[in-house]
Amino acid sequence: MNLEERLLTLVKNDHHLLNVITILRQQHLREATIVGDPIRNLIWNAITKQPSSVLWDKITVYYRNISESYEDFLTTQAQLSQNHSQYFWELTNLGLPERAALAPSQLSISEAVAAQPEKCSAVGIQLLSGGELTVIAPYGLDDAFALRVAPTPAFAVGTEQHPKYQRRLHFNHWQERWPDLTIV
């Protein structure tokens, strides 16, 4: 079983994550992709045999809907938060214009996932239109499954973004929860 298949098996065996996926399907969010914390933590908890629950994580979801207004986006965010308050939702519609721009973001879902500071966090589970799930992992899954935290190229040592990567490491205290992590 390769790492993508292993991850999909973990997702399909996690009833809370399956509930989140069901909720997102009901919302009809185009290209809905669960990114970062819940996916990375699911992997780390499985490897370290710790309990796992998306109830503890921020549910970051990227999607693209260029016809959605900002007001509709806020309504969707509010409805999710009110109707499914057991989860902490963070939605990003990549189809909305950026605050300082008049045009929608040109980032693809994969590029947005790749923009995460850590390779182990640059992992997403996307809901396809036919109901299937697929893995988006621009830097692969090796780091996540090896319990290794390394910066993505945009956050590498010597880049302008590297201090943000270091702050996240300090703020998240991952090694307290997962002592076997290797920080690069």
Q: What is the pLDDT of residue 135?
A: 97
- 12 found inside a domain: yes
pLDDT one-digit tens code per residue, 76-95: 999 999 999 999 999 999 88
State which residues form the domain around 109. Answer: 3-142
93 bridge partner residues: 63
Give the span between the Cα atoms of 45 and 12, in whole angstroms: 15
Give the span between the Cα atoms of 34 and 135, in whole angstroms: 10
- 58 found inside a domain: yes
- 82 found inside a domain: yes
Q: What is the largest distance, in Å, between two alpha-carbon atoms of the chain? A: 47
- Is residue 178 within 8 Å of 48, Cβ to Cβ? yes
Give the span between the Cα atoms of 74 and 96, in whole angstroms: 11
Which domain CATH number covers 46? Answer: 3.30.460
Ramachandran class of 91: left when φ > 0, alpha when ψ lies in -120 to 50, beta otherwise: beta
pLDDT one-digit tens code per residue, 32-79: 999 999 999 999 999 999 887 777 788 999 998 888 888 999 999 999
Output phi, psi for 89, to 5 deg. -90, 140
